[in-house]
């Protein structure tokens, strides 16, 4: 079956760095997405990786290793507004998104 694993919850301190991991097993691979979702709101797009390596976008970076079925989202200089759930999703061979359960990130002052 298809499976996306990510930690349920993480806690970090304002100003620090946090890495949220995601491992996946899917039938085919056409890219991996990271979305941010604040409570009561719809997800918003953060990043997309289809090739191995690191994609940097401001304070957020996303890494992919297709051979390991592994990705991480790196958040630097954490701000209180970064408190949210972070969803990992993989596009499978049919271009359908397979969603992880999300990682709730709690930022403490």
Partner 1 sequence: GAVVSQHPSWVICKSGTSVKIECRSLDFQATTMFWYRQFPKQSLMLMATSNEGSKATYEQGVEKDKFLINHASLTLSTLTVTSAHPEDSSFYICSASSGGEVNEQFFGPGTRLTVL
The continuous run of DSSP H or E covering 46 comes out as strand 44-49
Q: Does 9 bind partner 1 (CB under 8 A)?
A: no
Q: Which of 5, 7, 48, 70 binds partner 1 (CB under 8 A)?
A: 48
Q: In whole angstroms, how close is the CB of 91 to partner 1 at the nearest point?
A: 6
Q: Does 62 bind partner 1 (CB under 8 A)?
A: no
CB contact at 8 A, 21 and 6: yes
Q: Does 79 bind partner 1 (CB under 8 A)?
A: no
Q: Which of 22, 26, 34, 43 binds partner 1 (CB under 8 A)?
A: 43
26 to 7, 44, 66, 67: CA distances (angstroms): 18, 23, 11, 12
Within 10 Å of residue 58's Cβ, how many Cβ atoms? 7
Q: Does 101 bind partner 1 (CB under 8 A)?
A: yes
Q: Single out the residue of 103, 98, 108, 106 nearest to residue 24, CA to CA.
A: 98
Binding stretches for partner 1 (CB under 8 A):
30-31, 33, 35, 40-45, 48, 50, 87, 91, 95-97, 99-102
């Amino acid at each position: 079956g298809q499976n996306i694993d990510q930690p349920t919850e993480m806690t970090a301190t304002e100003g620090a760095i946090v890495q949220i991991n995601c491992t996946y097993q899917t039938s085919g691979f056409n890219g991996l997405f990271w979305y941010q979702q604040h409570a009561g709101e719809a997800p918003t797009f953060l990043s997309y990786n289809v090739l191995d390596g690191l994609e940097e976008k401001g304070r957020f970076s996303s890494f992919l290793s297709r051979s390991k079925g592994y990705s991480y989202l790196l958040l630097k200089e954490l701000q209180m507004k970064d408190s949210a759930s972070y969803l990992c999703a993989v596009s499978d061979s049919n271009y359908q998104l397979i969603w992880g359960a999300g990682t709730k990130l709690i930022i403490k002052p």
